[in-house]
Structure 1
Amino acid sequence: MTDLKVIGFDADDTLWINENYFREAESAFCEMLSDFADEKQVMETLFKIEIRNLELYGFGIKGFTLSMIECATEICGEKLTSKLTSRILCIGQEMLDKPVILLDKVEEILQHLKDKYRIILVTKGDLLDQHRKLEKSGLEKYFHHIEVMNNKSEADYSKLVKHLDIIPDEFLMIGNSLKSDVIPVLNVGAHAIYVPYEITWQHEVPSPEVLVKEYVQVESLHDILEYV
């Protein structure tokens, strides 16, 4: 990584807490539907619907909320009431209003790196929601560029590198998802550091056969400073 010019940071569960809020919402949702189905059935149905809807809604809380309503419709049928639908909408609205809680030493790390590299934010999800969280985080001042992608594919990263006017070897991506932040980055010839988070959404767990390239893994975000 001797030629690095740009470091990209994932946002959710790399810089601040995110997946915990989805787990809390899923738990509340399962409780709401407990008279109609057990937790396992609700979660399996919800996940199936979420994956099916990704091409329509993309990633984020709004798409998740719509998927919960569709899931409730499928499970409850004609017994789904307007009151229950309103409660599901409240789950999504409460998620959008959650505080942005930074992970340990995030600002200290960005402060340390900002004068050595161009620091950018590379995330995916709902554009409005991601910018809202960035503003609430107080970290916006550290980033030269904000990239909110619909997905994080090899094509997306290739376009990003071209837009930054660098070659792949000059770019490093740091994030908590092997599927989104590491594998596609390595496949375009750039660098990646994997920082696992305590919770990983099932969709972000790659199949073993795609893990064909070596990558750097650290225990905490602060450990990246050993490499940059």
Structure 2
Amino acid sequence: MNNRLKRWSLSAMIAVPFSLILVLSLDIYNDWPDLLYVVVMAMAGNFFFNFLADRHDKRLIARIKADQPIMWNVSMNSVEIGKVSDSQYAAMQRMASRDGRIALAQFFNLGRMALVVVEKLLFAIPFLVFWMVVALAIISPESYTDLVREFQKADPAEITSAMRSFLQTAMTMMFVVFGVMIVMGYRFGFRNHYSEAVNRMLQQHCNTPAKGDVQLRQMAIDPISNQKVASSPD
């Protein structure tokens, strides 16, 4: 219970400041009611994340205690290197999910991933602005001339407001593109440290010092005949 409260508190201490920094840096919200809304949403997201983590942990504990006659074939680079029971596999997954060092490594990896995204956005936004202006000048010279004239007439406050609105629109477009790239498989330097840790445990379990891609194929074993009755890839 204490470990759970510590994890919930730590994740809240990360989620709330990060959310506030994000919205303040993008100048999305400035008023106190809006910032309070951001805090509430960050806490709600933190609650949902920890709720899912607790459910996952309970499922792993149930698999460990059940000790079902289910085995996994462990292969590396398409070569079978051993077998592991489902309870052992669940114990490895739970050990990785509760390792603070792995959580810290995953956190820093997500931080580096965020920096990569920001770097690409900082390059993409000026690039997008430039080509939008060029396209406007080519497609509609009259509109381009009117736009330049309006900027020349506008005072600094109006220009700042217009640029801020344009920047927010451009950032929204970039985040949409970011989501599409994620769906298409671009990872921005993301590494799944939890999966890597489980793979290392499987290699140690199978006494395999070599490195490679680990794959598992589940086998349902009949407890009486001890024969494989079904097989499916992980």
**TM-score > 0.5, shorter chain as reference:** no
TM-score, structure 2 as length reference: 0.20
Instruction: Specify the structure having the higher radius of gyration (Cα).
Output: 2
When normalised by structure 1's length, the TM-score is 0.20
